[in-house]
Structure 1
Amino acid sequence: QHETASVEMFEHLITSNQLEEVMKSYGLVLEEDMIFIKEQIAGPVDETACEESWPYRGRQKEKSFLYEIVANKKNGIDVDKWDYFARDCHHLGIQNNFDYKRLLKFTRVCEADSQKHICARDKEAGNLYDMFHTRHWLHRRAYQHKTGNIIEIMQVLITEAFQKADKFFKIEGSGGKFYQISTAMEDMEAYTKLTDNIYLEILHSSSPELKEAREILRKIERRELYKFLGETRPEAVRTIMKTNNLAESFANSKPIKDPPAVELKAEDFVIDIINMDYGMKEQNPIDNVLFYCKADPSKAIRIIKEQVSKLLPTTFAEQVIRVYCKSQDPDIVSAAKQYLIQWCMKNDFTKPQDGDVVAPHLTPMKKSWNETRNEHHRRASEPTCKHRLPFDE
């Protein structure tokens, strides 16, 4: 896990930069404060302690709220998120709608269930929903972007390129020992030198030994990627598992009406399943947040969604199913898009957004798709009627 590597890197940075004495000069007690910092990164140092009432060793139970600042396991509201929100929105050139500075002004520590917790003012509940919406939005716009995801899926090519270049790279670690790309993580000194520069060195090299690796990376740079066919979602409340049977099922979904002449096989496709949520799967994370109100700032309370707004989400998790075609041939891609429509119809998935364009002869065959559209038009054309309540008079 990346948390384990982060702890090892932290230890290496302290040692290699001789920071122990500096930390002591600022009043840190290394024996307990080092444990506390590691617990902030990766949770309890002693896994067996998790079964105890208080699993942490860096701070006593009286300081329990300190474990809700960096990596909050209770509800996911922590400065780690705020940091990458600001960083990624800045580099993507998009607006960050979450105001952490305002939230900090209305945050205090209250006691609940014999522990101290960080609580937010009741009027900040909407701001916290904005925070989780920002997280979900960033996942849709960036972290789970269809092109970024397919490069991850094609990472086997990058791995293959690194494997071919592995024996030609020597990275010096601690004690003058040399490591290859594949073994650099065994030594933190070598690991610190394992940057994106390795990728660029291979890409811009002229060495005959790196020719195969270089060609693989150039293919990615030229965006010779798998073609995105479309995305869909399960209509019913069910979970789709990522298995090899999905591609087989897709290949067996040749349209029954006006089928394309092209025959496709399971190995022609890649099916990716993305799980998106508010950080706690199907659960609303705000249900785990404690608030305080102006009337009694020392008392921790809970606020349910209906007390905040009727316009908030009713579900907090969804699955997105994306389908890619390995071929660049326009005829094969066109046929594959029709396969996608038939596959969605057969499995009760939602209609892909371009379904009526790529397969107009197929989409009318799915009754629920057309009922949904007609129902939407019917509701839109109906006049609205406001029911007067007694206190409106």
Structure 2
Amino acid sequence: MAAQDIRKVFNDPIHGSIELHPMLVRIIDTPQFQRLRFIKQMGGVYYVYPGASHNRFEHSIGVAHLAGKLLKALREKQPELEISDKDILCVQIAGLCHDLGHGPFSHLFDNMVIPKIEPGSTWKHEEASIKMFKYLVETNKLEFNKPDLTALDFIFIKELIHSEHRVNARKWGYKGRPEEKSFLYEIVANKLTGIDVDKMDYLARDCYHLGFPNNFDHNRFIQMIRVCEVPINSEEKRRRICIRDKERYNLHILFNSRYRVFSVACTHRVVCSVQLMIADALVEAQRSGAMDLSGAKEDMEKYTALTDRVFEEILNSDSAELEESKSILNRILSRELYRHVCSIRMDGAEGGEELNLVIELLNHELLDNNLQFLRNDLNYGQGPKNPLENMYFYTKNAPNTARPLSELDDVLVFPNRFQDTFINLYDKRLNQVPVCPTVVTECLEKVTEGLEKVTEYLEEVERSPEEVPECPADLTVYLEKVTEYMEKVKKSPEDFTEYLKKINERLEKAIKDQEAMQH
């Protein structure tokens, strides 16, 4: 037997000894996968919680392990599903490679850097994961035919990593596997419920490194799942992963744990301050022309070299173009962080696209004041919805009958809402001069005035569509943002007026209360 065909064992602090298929080992032993050693799993959280030093590398191996464990358990319990060795290997490869596309500091790159250097961009790391996977296979000349994988299997793996299709769509849109194996698409990235091996590994791993307790038992979950026929409409059914009815308590713990990690660690006010500073440094490096982060994510050779080490590259650079970025990063090291001014919680009904519009326009007006608003959503993984509502359950006496949560005899006591939305205001200045509430008030007045002008301009355009007047220069940003959001929320600029008044009142009070506490 050739050395490359031998299974290897990895010792993992979460799952113990992990034995991986030779094909998985060959993928791991490539520069594109080894790159994940240098990307922190939790981004800037490490600068507040020093135990959070784990990387995407070990998480990806953990996801591949859990994917294989889950499918092998299903195959043993339900041989009629005809789960093949190839099915298991493909799902494991997808689990191993699902995070190949992450940029520096993980989600910080997606959510805080790209939107600033490419306004309006919808780019997400999943897209880059597929590109990097293809690049990895081609560059390293990996022979997929050795484990008898075909072109169709390659398509299947890419669909598992990222696809616009849905398992519960009326028309089956996937190509990698037929409809009777629909349940395979719920294992690595479950769009319907958010219950997948990716979440199980990162929660266990994050809690371990943060020093938080994790009461969710993923091994018990794997033991308790079955595949049942679930209705997708009044006439048709499709195979989906279901869980024993009594395990909904265990699932509730899963989502509760996620909420706690995000609330206490990921959106910690100092973590957010650090992440804003890292993002500002990277955005400034792009704007100065010293680095091409935007271009790198489209070029997999360059993207392979783009990791968290960009932090040290900027700090150690002698380039005059990177002086501003270096200054921001040095402030992180000397703990001269952006100051958290205040935080206000929005009601669930007030945390939609309107809030995104308001925050973007406020930040546009606050640029000269070195102030920035940041939105944080804390939820159970499915926005304001209860994720268990999309889950189906079976009972001890009817193991092949799928039932929704609403049909179970006794229902869990759930929270009255599943998402909290916070607006946080940060002061980027080095001095400790308190932020005057009137600065924010004046900013809100400018936004209100800008929205009114945009309304007048749009009305004029509607009256004279053949002779469209030129948009005033100071309204260009407003027109662009308002038009974008009007398409999403189907509302006019006037609808935001009352909304702005509410935010204004809350912000003024929050700033005054914060300053009173400090004095």
SS of the residue 2:350 aligns to? coil
Question: Is 1:43 aligned with 2:150?
Answer: no
Confirm or deny: 8 A CA contact 2:344 2:506 kept in the other structure.
no
Report the 3-state secondary structure (helix = DSSP H, G, I; strand = E; otherwise coil) of the residue aligned with 1:298: coil
Show the counterpart of 1:25: 146
Percent identical pairs in the alignment equals 37
* 2:426 is the counterpart of 1:324: yes
Cα shift readout 1:93-118 (whole Å, capped 9, x = no counterpart): 22222111111110111112220010
Q: 1:349 to 1:13 in 2, by over 3 A?
A: same
Distance (Å, rounded) in 1 between the aligned partners of 2:309 and 2:518 = 48
SS of equivalent to 1:272? strand
Counterpart AA for 2:427:
C
Match of 2:456 in 1: none
Partner of 2:90: none
Please point out which of 351, 356, 359 is paired with 1:242. Answer: 356
Q: Could you tell me which amino acid in structure 2 is paired with residue 111 of structure 1?
A: E
Q: Map 1:219-368; keep pairs closer than 5 Å.
A: 219-234=331-346, 237-239=349-351, 241-243=355-357, 267-304=369-406, 307-310=410-413, 312-333=414-435, 347=505, 355=513, 358=516
Q: How does 1:142-291 map to 2 (within 5 A)?
A: 142-154=265-277, 155-164=279-288, 166=290, 181-206=293-318, 211-234=323-346, 237-239=349-351, 241-243=355-357, 267-291=369-393
The secondary structure found in structure 1 opposite 2:341 is: strand
Please give the alpha-carbon distance, in whole angstroms, between the structure 1 residues aligned to 2:508 and 2:397.
Answer: 48
Aligned pairs for 1:76-115 (under 5 A) are 76-113=194-231, 114-115=237-238
Task: For residue 82 of structure 1, report the CA deviation from its aligned partner.
Answer: 1.2
Task: Give the secondary structure class of the aligned counterpart of 1:161.
Answer: helix
- Structure 1: gaps (5+ residues): 168-179, 252-263, 362-393
**Correspondence 1:67 to 2:198:** no
Q: Residue deviations 1:238-276, cap 9 Å, x none?
A: 336134679869x9xxxxxxxxxxxx9983532222222
Deviation at 1:289, TM superposition (A): 0.3
**CA separation in 2, counterparts of 1:73 and 1:87?**
21
Following superposition, the deviation at residue 300 of structure 1 comes to 0.6
Task: Pick which of 93-102 and 120-129 moved more.
Answer: 93-102
Structure 2: give runs of 5+ residues left out of the alignment: 1-123, 232-236, 442-500
Q: Secondary structure in 2 aligned to 1:299?
A: coil
Superposed displacement of residue 352, structure 1: 5.6
- TM superposition score normalised by structure 1: 0.71
Q: What TM-score do you get using the length of structure 2 for normalisation?
A: 0.55
CA–CA separation in structure 1 for the residues paired with 2:301 and 2:357? 39
CA distance in structure 2 between the partners assigned to 1:238 and 1:192 by the alignment: 40
- Once the two structures are superposed, what CA deviation does each residue of 1:258-312 show, in whole Å capped at 9, x if it has no partner? xxxxxx99835322222222122221110110010001101111123992333x2
Relative to its length, the structure with more helix (as a share) is 2
CA displacement at 1:226 relative to structure 2: 2.0
SS of equivalent residue, structure 1 residue 25: coil
1:7 aligned partner, one-letter code: I
Greater Cα offset, 64-73 or 222-231: 222-231
Q: Which of 151-160 and 239-248 deviates more? A: 239-248
Q: Tell me the SS of whatever aligns to 1:166.
A: coil
- Shift of the 116–8 alpha-carbon distance from structure 1 to 2, 3 Å rule, reads same
How many residue pairs match? The answer is: 327
Matched letter for residue 68 of structure 1: E
Contact 1:276-1:317 at 8 Å conserved across structures? yes
Q: State the alpha-carbon separation in 2 of the partners of residues 162 and 290 from structure 1.
A: 47
